[in-house]
Amino acid sequence: MQAINYRGPFRIRVEDKPIPEIQHPRDAIVQVTRACICGSDLHLYHGMVPDTRVGTTFGHEFIGIVQEVGTEVHNLGVGDSVLVPFNIACGQCVFCKQGLFAYCHESNAMSSTVGGVFGYSHIAGGFDGGQAEYVRVPYADIGPTVIPDGMNEEDALLLTDVLPTGYYAAEMGGIKKGDTVVVFGAGPVGIMAARCAWLFGAGRVIVIDHLEYRLDFVRKYAPCEAYNFKSIEDPVLFIKRQTDWLGADVCIDAVGSDACGNMMQTLTGKKLLLQAGAATALHWAINSVKKGGIVSIVGVYGPTDNLIPIGNAVNKGITIRAGQTSVKRLLPRLIEHVQQGILSPREIITHRFALEDAADAYHIFSSKLDDCIKPVLVPSA
Ligand code: NAD
Ligand code: ZN
């Protein structure tokens, strides 16, 4: 089969790999019909995620058709169209039982931080992902969800990560009626977070980014106010001015590692600069939230970003919440929202590429070329 193959930072090739086989009675094999590239994949692509091995197939946002099921998978049948949450979760461990599927202990028992994730390096279990013609889905009786009749397949695709993550960011923000919510990052996750903030009763939603085409999009899609941080003197001061000097009630970090910038600095060997440039959006979030406010972090950070303005966080008495999204917990209500037309996530898809053109797709998405917001890879049937 064709699958993307990581060859090192900024190098993706589409190559032949063996079709995966059932390895455990709870596995399924899914033929992928569509797979997204995510901002999280860019951290891998930029070489920022430890233990990302050459030969890994990325891809944690995919839908497809069940080809084969193990003997212990009774809730899926061959031919079912499924959306597959990015978390690999056993459904039975102490974390899964609480709905914390992102922290499944069984799927990635070697890690004390994260559960298994498709195509997300050996720190997330070393599973191959779905940017391929076929993928092995472990614990297939838990994650994969049959796509409801009548649901657009690209809406279903965005239910595997991006919509639930935007929703989770807003949920963690503990937004109360009338709150001012600031979202840092107008990528797919930030766009969804801004849209979902209204569902929780926000009174005002402000998005900060520097890519004009994304700001234009989110202004209409969310809809919200959106500002370019390169055109405002200082984002923290700007938000204070906008909020009668109180600060925002809730700040959401939908940026994570500024991986591309950091990578360039690594390549030129300027390690100190690399530290100084890290986690800008998170600094802004902590410094522009009001005293006693909430900072909700869904942006993913690598080891070089373990520095935050902790003194300011203590002095302001703020709450910091953070996490990987447990997609399965949120699916029932989000499927309903999509079916009722309250949310239409597929509208953020700007590009569709044949799987064999994945290297171009990564380059365009990473470099933010051609007004790209969300790219989808389509394997040939
Ligand atoms: P993306 O790269 O498409 O978007 C990031 C956006 O942030 C870009 O538009 C960029 O211009 C903007 N940006 C960069 N620096 C900024 C700054 N200082 N202030 C404001 N904006 C800034 O990525 P995405 O797909 O939207 O994902 C966003 C983040 O969410 C990534 O870190 C990704 O790994 C993470 N993520 C987390 C989860 C989770 O479960 N927690 C799930 C999916 C994605
Ligand atoms: Zn993702």
Q: Is it the case that residue 267 has pLDDT exceeding 90?
A: no
Q: Indicate whether 282 pLDDT > 90.
A: yes
Helix (H, G, I), strand (E, B) or coil at 94: coil
Q: Distances in Å between the alpha carbon of 312 and those of 64, 117, 235, 276, 320?
A: 46, 33, 16, 17, 12
Query: How many helices and strands, by DSSP H and E, does the chain display?
Result: 12, 17
- 259 in contact with ligand 1, CB cutoff 6 A: no
Those residues whose C-beta lies under 8 Å from the C-beta of residue 344, and which sit 6 or more positions away, are 155, 338
Is residue 166 over pLDDT 60? Answer: yes
When pLDDT is cut at 50, 70 and 90, the band that residue 257 belongs to is confident
- In the predicted structure, residue 266 carries a pLDDT above the cut 50: no
Any residues with CB less than 8 A from the CB of 364 and at least 6 apart, and which? 351, 370, 372, 375
DSSP string, 9-74: TTEEEEEE-PPP---STT-EEEEEEEEE--HHHHHHHTT-STT--TT------EEEEEEEE-TT--
* Residue 161 Cβ < 6 Å to ligand 1: yes
Q: Which residue is closest in CA terms to ligand 1's atom 29?
A: 299
* Residue in the structure block whose two tokens are 């058709």: 65
Atom number of ligand 1 nearest to Cα 43: 34
**Are 217 and 350 within 8 A, CB to CB?**
no
Q: Cα of 113 to ligand 2 centre, how many Å?
A: 18
246 phi, psi to nearest 5 deg: -85, -35
| C-alpha to C-alpha distance for 88 and 30, rounded to whole angstroms | 14
72-86, 260-274, 279-293, range with greatest mean pLDDT = 72-86
Beta strand pairing call for 87-88 and 116-117: antiparallel
Residue at 301: amino acid letter: Y
Taking the alpha carbons at both ends of the chain, their separation in whole angstroms is 11
List the residue whose alpha carbon is closest to atom 23 of ligand 1.
39
Nearest-ligand number for the alpha carbon of 85 = 2
Average pLDDT of the residues in 29-33: 98
For the CA of 214, the closest atom of ligand 1 is: 9
Task: Give the number of whichever ligand sits closest to the CA of residue 158.
Answer: 2
Give the distance (Å) from ligand 2 centre to CA of residue 115: 14
Helix, coil or strand: residue 190: helix
Q: Which ligand gives the minimal distance to the CA of 229?
A: 1
| % of the chain with per-residue pLDDT over 90 | 87
C-alpha 68/C-alpha 116 separation (Å) is 21
- ipTM of the complex model: 0.99
Atom of ligand 1 nearest to the CA of 102: 40
Domain ranges of the chain: 2-161+326-378, 162-322
Query: What letter would DSSP give residue 312?
Result: H
Residue 262 has pLDDT above 50, yes or no: no
Which pLDDT does position 112 carry in this prediction? 85
Write down the pLDDT at residue 79.
98
Q: What is the pLDDT of residues 48-102, one digit of tens each?
A: 898 999 999 999 999 999 999 999 999 999 999 999 999 999 999 999 999 999 9
Q: What is the mean pLDDT of residues 203-230?
A: 97
> Does 103 score more than 70 pLDDT?
yes
Q: Stretch 357-374: mean pLDDT, rounded?
A: 97
* C-alpha–C-alpha distance, residues 41 and 376, integer Å: 13
pTM for the complete prediction? 0.96
pLDDT tops 60 at residue 206? yes
pLDDT per position as a tens digit, 128-164? 999 999 999 999 999 999 999 999 999 999 999 999 9
**More confident: 29 or 272:** 29
Give the mutation target among 255, 288, 327 for probing the ligand 1 site: most ligand atoms within 8 A of CB: 255
Nearest ligand (C-alpha, residue 300): 1
- Whether 343 shows a pLDDT value over 60: the answer reads yes
The enclosing H or E element of 221 equals helix 212-221
Give the pair of three-digit tokens for residue 19: 């079709």
Q: CATH number of the domain at 2-161+326-378, out of 3.40.250.10, 3.60.130.10, 3.30.70.100, 3.90.180.10?
A: 3.90.180.10
Extract the tokens encoding 28: 């399924």
For residues 239 and 288, what is the distance between their CA atoms, to the nearest angstrom? Answer: 6
Flag whether pLDDT at 379 surpasses 90: yes
**Confidence class of residue 271 from pLDDT cuts 50, 70 and 90?**
very low
Predicted confidence (pLDDT) at residue 270 exceeds the cutoff of 80 = no
Confirm or reject CATH 3.40.50.720 for domain 162-322, answering yes or no: yes
pLDDT tens track for 322-338: 999 999 999 999 999 99
Number of neighbouring beta carbons within 10 Å of residue 356: 14
pLDDT of amino acid 113 = 85
Q: Are strands 289-297 and 349-354 parallel, antiparallel or unpaired?
A: unpaired
Verify whether ligand 1 is closer than 6 Å to residue 330 (CB atom). Answer: no
Reported as half-sphere exposure (CB side, CA atoms, 13 A), residue 331 has a value of 25
- Tell me, using a 6 A CB cutoff, whether residue 189 lines ligand 1: yes
